[in-house]
Structure 1
Amino acid sequence: MDLTAIPGVGAKTADALAELEAPEAAIESGDVAAVARAPGISQGRAARIVRAAIRQRHDDEGTFLATPRAREVYRDVLDLLADRTVTDYAAARLETFYPSASESRIDEVRALSERAMERDPDDAVLAALEDVEPLEVPGDVRVRDRCLATTDGETYASAREAIPELSVEVVEDSRDLAELARGYATVVALDDSFAGVDVEGDVRVEPDALAEPAAVVPERPLAFFAHNRDRILAAITVHRAADLDAPCDLDVLEAALDRLDAEGTPTGDDELRRLQTAVDDLDAAVGEAESVANDRLREAIEAQDVTIEGADLLSLVERGAGVDEVLSRELADEYDDAVEAAREHVIDTLDLRDVADIARRAFPDEPTFPVEREESVVSRLREELTTARDRRAERLKTELADDLASMREPAETLVDAALELDVELAIARFAADFDATMPELGGDGITIEGGRSPLLDVEFGDVEPVDYDVSGVRLLSGVNSGGKTSMLDLIALTVILAHMGLPVPADRVHVGRIDALHYHAKTQGTLDAGAFESTLRSFGELVTDAASEGETLVLVDELESITEPGASAKIMAGILEALGARDQTAVFVSHLAREIRETADREIGVDGIQALGLEDGKLQVDRTPRKDTLARSTPELIVEKLADGNDGDAGFYADLLAKFE
């Protein structure tokens, strides 16, 4: 796949996508999470790339939503779905769903919707999804206890590119290698020439190291799992709660993750813990040991009378002897006991084993007061402990990396499946919340039975279900606030959802094939001459292009408001005539239905949302349109009520009522 062939993908974005392991597969499968792993690609951007690729694959020009109001209803649909997602990923993934005239695209999403509607949005699953996020590639990993060594400049450059986590050093001979080994816990020599060379320290000759970086830097795979540990564990919980088929043994993966902390360090190893504690607590332990020795020696000095003959004192003074020599002569045993206590304190406190002999040399045999550490020995002890710790950690990291090496792809699949489940559950929750059903597609016209719009500003349970059957061009009449605009919204919502491949909030729906939806909302106020001309031009283009665009659905709400009523009726009659002549489907809401029908040169069907009367001053309406019925207006109802009264003006109102016939 030529990534730049995807609309909206330029060379820079294509280069970023190319860094993915399988960008074409990720895009083809609609895997927004995988696409978002490309450097610099956000989830929103990934969704737009996937949507563009989907349109390209289905040869979809993206012209279904032909007007701003049609696009507003589509956004309302996406908002309803997004409100039922748990993860940000699912909300972004839903952005790849759109109404299409492509049968293959509709079928693709219908299959997903039908599968989703069989899901159970269990509370435990939804709770588990809260901690699931798309996997991320961790930042640069730096390892300071190891280095690579080579004598060759070309190998040096290759090593820096292949394993940037480690320092790469150029050496000339085994002497340089030995020098490196004194500064690093492990040195990996990349040249065959060093094979068999005996160098003190952990020096490995691995000419093939650049071909298997993870063997040299187990931190690389471990960093991925450490960074994404909580996400993967959450996905495991989701799979168990939802009883999903897992791509690997969940217990094995979970056990491996339990051996890794957030910094990528293996856990649960007593020896590593011992060495780490020894390194961390060395200075404190040595300081305490000094206090132990000095406290003992001080007590011994205070408890013992030291007598020195005059000749001996004179001899000591003449030799310039100090307290150390006095201690050596008079308190040798006490000093030895104090120093031994200090040594044992360090060894026992830090649980030292292999390096206990070094720890013993940290305090001198020669008497001195106060007793003080041999700093060079303590430094050596620290180096030995640190090296032992690092080697132990590296071995454990290598073992754990080997265990996790085969689990990265299953882990990615595991998390992606959990995120995709959230998408399906959003559809399932949408269908459940709005009593939605999968629509029947094909043929002509639109049939809605028991439809209820979730776009109304009332609780969905309080929405009155309506039926409506639309074919050809129709005028929809009715009283103010009777539900005419809501009916147009319901038709638009139904058509959009059906052509997205999603369930529709109705008992039964049939939608014929539609290539473009033109929904024109009510204009606020009369248009000036320029705006009026522009509006007429847009309808002229709509009528002219209707046949070439395929099947067009046109929904118009009170177009008469653009100019004076007489002219509006003639204009709407002409538009409906032209659309009818081209076998298009249209519903025009208008208070001028009678005038339009009388003006038109061909039969135009009129349906009515019928007012049932006034009750306590409130309008009672049957919101299901009656076919071939011109609905009565609110003024007519009021005049009728007055005409039925018994006051003296009843005759006057009866005459007024006759004017409505």
Structure 2
Amino acid sequence: MELEAIPGVGAKTAAALSELDDPVATVESGDVAAIARAPGVNEARAARIARGAIRRRHDDAGRVLATDRAREVYREAIDLLRERTVTDYAAKRLETFYPSASASRIAEAQSAAADATTREPDPEVRDALAGVEPLDDPPTVRVRDRCLATADAEMFARAERAVPELSVETVEDARDISELGRSYATVIVIDEAFAGLDVDGDVKVRPDALETPAETVPERLLAFFATNRERLEAAAAVHEAAAVAGDPVAPDGPAADLDHLRDALARLDDDGTIVGDDELARLTDAVDDLDAAVSTAASVADDRLREAIRERDVTIEGTDFLSLVEQGARVDSLLDRELADEYDEAIAAAREHLADALRLEPEEAELAEPIFDGDPSFPVDHDEAAVSRLRTELAAARDRRSARLKADLASDLGDLREPVEALVRDALELDVELAISRFARDFDCTMPEVVDPDADADPGESIGAGGDGTIDSGFRIEGGRSPLLDVAFDDAEPIDYAVSGATLLSGVNSGGKTSTLDLVALVVVLAQMGLPVPAESATVERFEEIHYYAKSQGTLDAGAFEATLRDFGDLVEGADGRLVLVDELESITEPGASAKIIAGILEALDDQDATAVFVSHLAREIRDAADFAVAVDGIEAAGLVDGELRVNRSPKKGHLARSTPELIVEKLADDRGGEFYDDLLEKF
């Protein structure tokens, strides 16, 4: 698959994605975190790329959400789901669910959602999820104690690209390699032509070095684990908490051995260095503390000599003094002659202190002896060249041990590299599943049936009101409650509503007509996302497009009115497979003209067997103006009780609902009587 064939992926994004290890497989997997590891691709962008790949896989080029209000309902649905996530990843990942007209995509999403709804949202699991994030790629680590060496220019360029952590040096012969051995703790020769090379220093001939980066530069792998330590530990905690809750993240258990992972992480510091090895710690401290230890050792010798001088009377004969002066002797020479034994003892004390302070091994202590091996002096002097030689030896030993330990740990962690990717991915995907599960539980959802409009059904089953044994176009909702209302969900009254064809929805003011449209739009949008819907049961046609027009705010001027008519003109052209929801279109102009315009739109939609629900207070006028039998449903008011409107929220089929003014006049006629109120009532 060409990356640029994915909707929304241009040349620049394709180039960034190509930096991934397996860009095509990664994009097709829908793994938002993995896609977001491409340079310059954030998680929001990754979610759009994953959605584009899903569309391409299902040949789903259409756009179901055709109007601003339809897109708003989708955003509100996504927000309800996102509110139930813990991780930023899950919030972005949920956006790969979108209203689709593809039967295969809806079925795929429904399968995933059905599995998700079986999850038990456990508080401890959610707490553990708070620390999980997608794994991060650490910055390139520069390793200065090791280098690659080659005599081939092409190999040189390849090595610089493959192993940017190490310096790559050019060599011509063994002498050049030997020179590098004096500058680097380890030299890795990548030319096979040098096989069998025997030179001083830690020089290895490894033609496979570029193909085995974990051995060549273990720091790369160690940096990855060090950078992601907290994420890995959090993911491990999620798997453990889920197992305790009886709902494992993965049926076969964690992808990585958690004890093995924790043991390996315990051997690694946050900066990627090795911890827990006493010998490495000793060598590291020795190198770091060398100068201070030498200075203190010299002070120990000075103190011993100072004390010796205080305790002894030194007598020099005149002829001896004259002879020493003539020989140009210093006072130190006089002290050497008189305090030779004491001086040797002071130097021995300095050497012993240095060896003890640095915890030197016997062979290292021998290397340290020349540091205090010069001519007698007071204060005691030290040989800086000898200090430098000891430092070089200690540092080389430290680097060799560190490299060996890093290689050993990298070998252990190498087997965990792919498993921990799955470990974290599974934990993040669990958050997605738990969000869907919580959504379904919080809003008493069920998985809807999404059918083709021309599919056959069992006898007596239909979506709409036909009941003739075939699947009609439209939708059927039973016990639906909208979580979009400004009341607590538990206080929302359940609604039953089914529509097939073009229908008018009438009803009293504040009777719930708009909230019914919102519920219908939400149920259809969620159903075509492949997600559960807030209803006891629901069956919807697989609509090609959803057009939802919200109520206009006031009468439109001539230009806006013309633009609105153009929108509806475009709408009714080829309206097959569309759901059209319109809220009080009559408000765009005067009532008489509105009734005629709405009647004309309904006629066009009816000719094309579209499913439409138009909320209107002009239902009677529209029905009279239409040249076909317009179906009219009504949200019926039971009456006024203590000044409050009591309404049966479920629309009544084939019923023109009474208006609020009619109810008020009827109440006054009953309460007060009189010819005036009776006459008014007869006019309705």
Please, what TM-score do these two structures have when normalized by structure 1?
Answer: 0.95
Quickly say closer, same or farther: Cα 1:208–1:553, change in 2 above 3 A. closer
Question: In structure 1, what residue type is equivalent to 2:412?
Answer: D
Matches of 1:151 and 1:527, distance apart in 2: 80
1:650: Cα distance to partner?
3.4
Query: Does the aligned pair in 2 maintain the 1:452–1:506 contact within 8 Å?
Result: yes
Match of 1:495 among 524, 534, 555: 524
Query: Does the aligned pair in 2 maintain the 1:135–1:228 contact within 8 Å?
Result: yes
After superposition, the C-alpha distances for 1:178-198 in whole angstroms (9 at most, x for unaligned) are 322222111223345555554
Partner residue, 2:552: 523
Match of 2:653 among 618, 623, 627: 627
Pair 1:296 & 2:320 matched: no
Pair 1:480 & 2:506 matched: no
Matches of 2:508 and 2:311, distance apart in 1: 113
SS at match of 2:143: coil
Pair 1:64 & 2:64 matched: yes
Partner residue, 2:224: 224
After superposition, the C-alpha distances for 1:9-46 in whole angstroms (9 at most, x for unaligned) are 22222222222222222222211122112222211111
Pair 1:121 & 2:145 matched: no
SS at match of 2:106: helix
For 1:584-595, list aligned pairs within 5 A. 584-595=610-621
Partner residue, 1:367: 376
Quickly say closer, same or farther: Cα 1:19–1:608, change in 2 above 3 A. same
Stretch of structure 1 that moved more, 387-396 or 635-644: 635-644
SS at match of 1:625: coil
% same residue: 66
Pair 1:613 & 2:645 matched: no
Pair 1:654 & 2:678 matched: yes
Query: Does the aligned pair in 1 maintain the 2:502–2:630 contact within 8 Å?
Result: yes
Stretch of structure 1 that moved more, 56-65 or 146-155: 146-155
Matches of 1:34 and 1:141, distance apart in 2: 22
Quickly say closer, same or farther: Cα 1:525–1:322, change in 2 above 3 A. same
Question: In structure 2, what residue type is equivalent to 1:535?
Answer: T
- Specify every segment of 5 or more residues in structure 1 that has no aligned partner in the other structure, as ranges: none
For 1:69-108, list aligned pairs within 5 A. 69-108=69-108
Match of 2:385 among 366, 376, 382: 376
Aligned length: 655
Match of 1:440 among 449, 456, 464: 449
Partner residue, 1:233: 233
Query: Does the aligned pair in 2 maintain the 1:156–1:168 contact within 8 Å?
Result: yes
Match of 2:352 among 329, 344, 352: 344
Matches of 2:409 and 2:482, distance apart in 1: 55
Quickly say closer, same or farther: Cα 1:545–1:195, change in 2 above 3 A. closer
- Specify every segment of 5 or more residues in structure 2 that has no aligned partner in the other structure, as ranges: 243-247, 452-470
Quickly say closer, same or farther: Cα 1:153–1:598, change in 2 above 3 A. closer
Matches of 1:195 and 1:29, distance apart in 2: 44
1:151: Cα distance to partner?
3.6
Partner residue, 2:487: 458
Pair 1:331 & 2:342 matched: no
Partner residue, 1:400: 409
Partner residue, 1:541: 570
Partner residue, 2:600: 574
For 1:348-359, list aligned pairs within 5 A. 348-353=356-361, 354-359=363-368
Matches of 1:148 and 1:76, distance apart in 2: 57
Stretch of structure 1 that moved more, 368-377 or 252-261: 252-261
Query: Does the aligned pair in 1 maintain the 2:550–2:583 contact within 8 Å?
Result: yes
After superposition, the C-alpha distances for 1:560-614 in whole angstroms (9 at most, x for unaligned) are 0000001111111222222223222111111111211222222222222222233
Query: Does the aligned pair in 1 maintain the 2:197–2:205 contact within 8 Å?
Result: no
SS at match of 2:342: helix
Question: In structure 1, what residue type is equivalent to 2:51?
Answer: R
Quickly say closer, same or farther: Cα 1:163–1:603, change in 2 above 3 A. same
1:246: Cα distance to partner?
2.2
1:511: Cα distance to partner?
1.3
Alignment RMSD (CA, Å): 1.8
Query: Does the aligned pair in 1 maintain the 2:136–2:228 contact within 8 Å?
Result: yes
Query: Does the aligned pair in 2 maintain the 1:642–1:650 contact within 8 Å?
Result: no
Matches of 2:537 and 2:372, distance apart in 1: 91
1:215: Cα distance to partner?
2.0
Query: Does the aligned pair in 2 maintain the 1:478–1:609 contact within 8 Å?
Result: yes
Partner residue, 1:263: 271
Match of 2:322 among 305, 310, 314: 314
Pair 1:111 & 2:76 matched: no
SS at match of 2:65: coil
Stretch of structure 1 that moved more, 218-227 or 45-54: 218-227
For 1:135-146, list aligned pairs within 5 A. 135-146=135-146
Query: Does the aligned pair in 1 maintain the 2:135–2:231 contact within 8 Å?
Result: yes
Question: In structure 1, what residue type is equivalent to 2:81?
Answer: L
SS at match of 2:496: strand
Quickly say closer, same or farther: Cα 1:593–1:154, change in 2 above 3 A. closer
Please, what TM-score do these two structures have when normalized by structure 2?
Answer: 0.92
Question: In structure 1, what residue type is equivalent to 2:371?
Answer: A
Query: Does the aligned pair in 1 maintain the 2:297–2:354 contact within 8 Å?
Result: yes
Pair 1:558 & 2:566 matched: no
Matches of 2:313 and 2:641, distance apart in 1: 118
After superposition, the C-alpha distances for 1:507-566 in whole angstroms (9 at most, x for unaligned) are 11121232211111101111111211221122122122113xxx2111000000000001
Query: Does the aligned pair in 2 maintain the 1:593–1:606 contact within 8 Å?
Result: yes
Question: In structure 1, what residue type is equivalent to 2:100?
Answer: S
Matches of 2:527 and 2:152, distance apart in 1: 66
Matches of 1:193 and 1:539, distance apart in 2: 78
After superposition, the C-alpha distances for 1:391-440 in whole angstroms (9 at most, x for unaligned) are 00100111111122222111112211111111111101111111111112
Matches of 1:207 and 1:613, distance apart in 2: 90
SS at match of 1:355: helix
Query: Does the aligned pair in 1 maintain the 2:374–2:383 contact within 8 Å?
Result: no
Quickly say closer, same or farther: Cα 1:196–1:533, change in 2 above 3 A. closer
Pair 1:583 & 2:592 matched: no
Matches of 2:194 and 2:23, distance apart in 1: 41
1:213: Cα distance to partner?
3.3
Question: In structure 2, what residue type is equivalent to 1:248?
Answer: A
Query: Does the aligned pair in 2 maintain the 1:222–1:264 contact within 8 Å?
Result: yes
SS at match of 2:647: strand
For 1:203-222, list aligned pairs within 5 A. 203-222=203-222
SS at match of 1:545: coil
SS at match of 1:78: helix
Pair 1:388 & 2:400 matched: no
Partner residue, 2:666: 640
1:257: Cα distance to partner?
2.2
Stretch of structure 1 that moved more, 399-408 or 92-101: 399-408
Pair 1:273 & 2:281 matched: yes
Query: Does the aligned pair in 1 maintain the 2:30–2:50 contact within 8 Å?
Result: yes
For 1:32-51, list aligned pairs within 5 A. 32-51=32-51
Quickly say closer, same or farther: Cα 1:173–1:323, change in 2 above 3 A. farther
Query: Does the aligned pair in 1 maintain the 2:145–2:399 contact within 8 Å?
Result: yes
SS at match of 2:531: coil
Quickly say closer, same or farther: Cα 1:304–1:161, change in 2 above 3 A. same
Stretch of structure 1 that moved more, 626-635 or 489-498: 626-635
1:365: Cα distance to partner?
5.0
Quickly say closer, same or farther: Cα 1:447–1:138, change in 2 above 3 A. same
Question: In structure 2, what residue type is equivalent to 1:653?
Answer: Y
Matches of 1:162 and 1:627, distance apart in 2: 71
